[in-house]
């Protein structure tokens, strides 16, 4: 992974609030597992807050997909909105979450995908058309704002951190059983979503 923040993690003055790079700080999902369920049109709490969710990938294997993710991220950054960016290449649960969301709408899997207030806006082409027509700002109306220059001091803008329960090893020792078990707190890479900027 590369740090595209351009700043020094953790560096903020006493009088300035931290500024996060494309992260969203307020998730209404507590006690429901590591990741929220796919949004539903009727009852998604994100609809009320106009939360902006962007599914992306940090893998460069398919150049067009990576470029599209970067373009949508840059457009949202330019409009200064807080974004809950979910990198499906870092966590298979996020990939399954997006697959279920798209399947429910009769759409095939593709990246990036933008949701605003629980409503699926679409992929790179849809976002590009809206942005060029000056309509993307209207779609994002009511979304939480965010200074695009901020970088999370805890994760450096990567939105993931090593699991505190197993230190990223994916195994925890159970004394009662006298053996190690697979850690239930982290994903397949021994990571959890950053508790500072994705909580």
Please state the domain extents for the chain.
Answer: 22-148
What's residue 132's pLDDT? 95
What's residue 199's pLDDT? 56
Question: Considering the domain 22-148 in this protein, what is its CATH number?
Answer: 3.40.30.10
Tens of pLDDT along the chain (199 residues)?
444 444 444 444 444 444 433 333 333 333 344 444 444 444 444 444 789 999 999 999 899 999 999 999 999 999 999 999 999 999 999 999 999 999 999 999 999 999 999 999 999 999 999 999 999 999 999 999 988 888 888 898 889 999 999 999 999 999 888 999 999 999 999 999 998 888 5
pTM: predicted TM-score of the whole model, two decimal places: 0.71
What's residue 148's pLDDT? 84
- Cα 30 to chain center, whole Å? 17
What's residue 196's pLDDT? 87
Largest CA distance in the chain: 62
Question: What is the C-alpha to C-alpha distance for residues 8 and 11, in angstroms, rounded to an integer?
Answer: 6
């Amino acid at each position: 992974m590369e740090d595209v923040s351009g700043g020094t993690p953790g560096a903020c003055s006493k009088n300035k609030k931290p500024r996060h790079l494309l992260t969203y700080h307020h998730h209404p999902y507590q006690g429901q597992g590591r990741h929220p369920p796919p949004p539903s049109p009727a009852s998604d709490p994100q609809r009320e807050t106009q939360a902006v969710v962007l599914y992306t990938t940090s893998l460069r294997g398919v150049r067009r997909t990576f470029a599209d993710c970067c373009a949508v991220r840059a457009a949202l950054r330019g409009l200064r909105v807080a974004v809950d960016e979910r990198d499906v290449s870092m966590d298979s649960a996020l990939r399954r979450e997006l697959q279920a969301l798209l399947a429910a709408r009769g759409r095939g899997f593709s990246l990036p995908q933008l949701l605003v207030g629980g409503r699926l806006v679409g992929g790179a082409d849809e976002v590009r058309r809206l942005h060029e027509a000056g309509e993307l700002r209207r779609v994002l109306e009511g979304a939480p704002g965010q200074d695009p220059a901020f970088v999370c001091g805890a994760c450096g803008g990567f939105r993931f951190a090593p699991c505190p329960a197993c230190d990223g090893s994916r195994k925890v020792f159970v004394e009662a059983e006298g053996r190690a078990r697979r850690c239930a707190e982290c994903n397949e890479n021994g990571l959890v979503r950053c508790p500072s900027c994705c909580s």
